Amino acid sequence: MMIETIETPRLLLRATTREDVSFSLNLWTDPETCYYLADPPRDRADEQYLSWGKDVETEEGWYPMIVVLRETGERIGTCSLVPYPDEHRWDLGYALHRQYQRQGYGTEMIRAMIEYGRAHGGRVFTADVAKENAGSNAVLRKLGFTPVREGSFTKRNTEIVFESFTYRLEF
């Protein structure tokens, strides 16, 4: 589903296009930047995974976005909003290139996704995060999220298992 561009003081969160697919896949399979995501490392990415995005502009059920610096137009990350059928609960996903972490961009991006979701009926926001991912855990807690469930996930095409928290923010 296409989404209108979300603007923040430093960022633009815009709909992902076919031209962004390589950027997204390269980011998600970067072994350092996205170590704590369920996406596979580059050397384990299979053909099914690498074929993601061919229909990104017409896919239904979620809003995949590219995070862009307003000042330069440089792509620095990805994020997504997934509204549940009742449209009151929205799940968040996000990844920022390691060069742009620890500079407040994650907080700004997640806050903007929440504001967009709230303006469109969202009252509950969730995000799953590896317990070891100190930065992401800290950002979510700073924004008022609380862990409501513990679980685990396996990094795709590997034997790497991460213990995780499901965070929740309710309005």
Domain coordinates in residue numbering, the chain = 6-127
Question: What pLDDT does 54 receive?
Answer: 87
Model pLDDT for residues 36-71, shown as the tens digit of each residue = 999 999 999 999 998 999 899 998 999 999 999 999
CATH class of 6-127: alpha beta
Q: How many CB atoms lie within 10 A of CB 155?
A: 19
- What are the backbone angles phi and psi of residue 107, rounded to the nearest 5°? -60, -45
Q: How far apart are CA 2 and CA 140, in angstroms?
A: 25
Question: What pLDDT does 45 receive?
Answer: 92
- Answer whether residue 171 shows pLDDT above 80: yes
Assign 135 a pLDDT band (cuts: 50, 70, 90): very high
Question: What pLDDT does 86 receive?
Answer: 87
Measured N-to-C along each axis, helices 134-142 and 105-119 cross at an angle, to the nearest 10 degrees, of 50
